[in-house]
Structure 1
């Protein structure tokens, strides 16, 4: 669980709701079903219209990365590679076969299986880099989906505000309906701007950062597997791979 992401979501709600209370407002005034329907529904509709189903499905599936990392840490990955190199040095590459079959990460498992099968280091690199580049572009497309939602929601919020004002102007003779129209107008604007700046853009940027980190992790695993294939000793492999660590 990413505690910082969870803390960010909590602080966002506390800031908005707490600020409203400090100004003397009621929490109920921030909950408006028509405004929510306009902003959330309109944003989703625009996003669905511009996005293919596979990309949209992957984006919403990938959103869990914000709270749960999709890969082990770089330090743990380095330890795994060094352990593999020790085993390969003692028992040969075939000694890694059992570890390859039980490896939970499919990308790393593919590299281990290539290593066990005796593939050349250049072959391992070319095959794994194709997978890496394809995965990276697909994951970045997911981040762009949330970025697009962040661009649409404020505009949809303005549409909701205009619709609320239209209701106000067409019912000036009915004072009882003025309040709901004005509430929809202002709350829709709040929803649109808040969703963009407190949810959609932060999620997009978080996913983009995680994609970069995952790419660095997988680059490190490629270099480690190639070093094992070339027979480097475990200490040299560890020193080389420590260059991938951020600190």
Structure 2
């Protein structure tokens, strides 16, 4: 049965590129009404263009999820326009730079925690009072690094493990209201923000591909379809689930 998100009001963070952009396009194709947010104003304008360019249907808002007051303001704008929020896609995040812990800085730690974890807290806290209940849902982006430790990414892993713990607690807290909370844990995805692609070599990419059972890296579309399913009524009994979307990494 085809997924149906027609008319659903969906707020997306981190939607200027990569997984966020790919998911926005997918949700647009399924008939949703989108609020496309990111710190990158040019990027969200490009995402809107890829979603048909219809500014009367979709909205773009510059949003730094680490700033609680700004999040509250933007959520108020969404609710003023649409009267409700049906689904939230918490995708805003900072990818890691692989380095020993002794080479990290307090500023690096603060940035990752502020965006990857506190940002999700800010958006979730601000939207809960306006979520459709029952029937609303959150889909939060963790990572395979939120399930399996990786050398040189202790701070990033901590934030992504935290996303899973936070999301599962929210699933318990919001479930009685009929609001579901689920998590996607992507593997190596070919996006502009993926440090392994942007800064890596052809050999590094080949290693990623060869280390995957499907023999390739993931694409934003591979995640977008899962997100759409989790928001849909087809996933109505999924709550607190962590869905690994990684092509099966070889061990």
TM-score band by shorter chain is: under 0.3
TM-score normalized by structure 1?
A: 0.24
RCO higher in structure (CA 8 A, sep ≥6): 1
TM-score, normalized by length of structure 2?
Answer: 0.24
Give the structure with the higher percent helix: 1
